[in-house]
Amino acid sequence: MKTSDAYYTDNWGSTYRILCEFTAGAITYLIVRRFLPGAAADPKPRIQKLASTLSLVLPLIVIAGAVFLGNLPAAQPPATNLSADSEALPPYFHLLLVPFLIAWIGALALSRRGLARTLSTRTMVLGGFISYSLYMTHLVWFGLWRAGMNAVGIDGGALYAIGLLGLIAGALAIAWLMWRFVEEPAREWMRALAGARRTPTEEAGEQLAEQALAGDSAEPIIVNGKEENSN
């Protein structure tokens, strides 16, 4: 898609954006580690309470901010001469919402109840594992699905709704297959080359899910006869 936003296209704009995102993620990780007491799995109770509150408040701030900017006349970008298929430009000042998203991720990492507890269930943890494969494959699958729907002449009605369900189910199935048979084996192989333990990430994820359901810290994972804490 085309866009006239220099932030995305001109003068290495995308590179700056990606570098800032990775840097923000690293800073968030360091802050979270700062509030974890040594090797213990859980932060102090008052930190957990504050994090649980922020994990609910921060996304509401982001949504409210997005709605506000979307309806603020001064924040609307000028009309462009690009084609009708061009990507719509975001409102000005939308990057002001990014710090709240970063803080939200940190709050979820420090929280042990509420929204964080829900996101720690087995189903949600699995969704997190396959999310990168979903990101990498969904556009290809969507293109094939759209071409198939056009080929059979389905562009609306009940059959189209059924097709949408197939689109979603197919995207998730492809993502799971890519994660299970490509991403995880490749990760284990690279970790072995680096001399790190080859324990699949899903094992650690299951420990975290069980921890959230039981309300306790995750038990150490036994790898090659040695104990390694999953956290």
The predicted pLDDT at position 38 comes to 62
Tell which residue, 139, 138, 125, has the closest CA to residue 205.
125
DSSP string, the chain: -----HHHHSTTHHHHHHHHHHHHHHHHHHHHHHHS-TT-SS--HHHHHHHHHHHHHHHHHHHHHHHHHHH-GGGPPPP--S-TTSPPPPPTTGGGGHHHHHHHHHHHHH--STHHHHHTSHHHHHHHHHHHHHHHHHHHHHHHHHHHHHHTT--SHHHHHHHHHHHHHHHHHHHHHHIIIIIHHHHHHHHHHTT-----HHHHHHHHHHHHHHTSPPPPEEETTEEE---
Distance CA 117, CA 56 (A): 12
The predicted pLDDT at position 192 comes to 83
Can you give the pLDDT of all 231 residues of the chain as single tens digits? 444 555 555 566 677 777 887 888 888 888 888 887 665 567 888 888 999 999 999 999 999 999 999 999 888 877 665 555 556 677 878 878 888 988 998 999 888 888 888 888 888 888 989 999 999 999 999 999 999 999 999 988 999 999 999 999 999 999 999 999 999 888 888 888 887 666 655 555 555 545 545 554 444 333 344 444 444
What sign does the dihedral 105-109-110-112 (CA atoms) show?
Answer: positive
**Token pair of 161, please?**
């709704």
Strand partners, 221: 228
Rounded to the nearest 10 degrees, how much is the dihedral formed by the CA atoms of 77, 83, 85, 88?
Answer: 0
Tell which residue, 17, 4, 9, 14, has the closest CA to residue 95.
17
pTM, two decimal places: 0.64
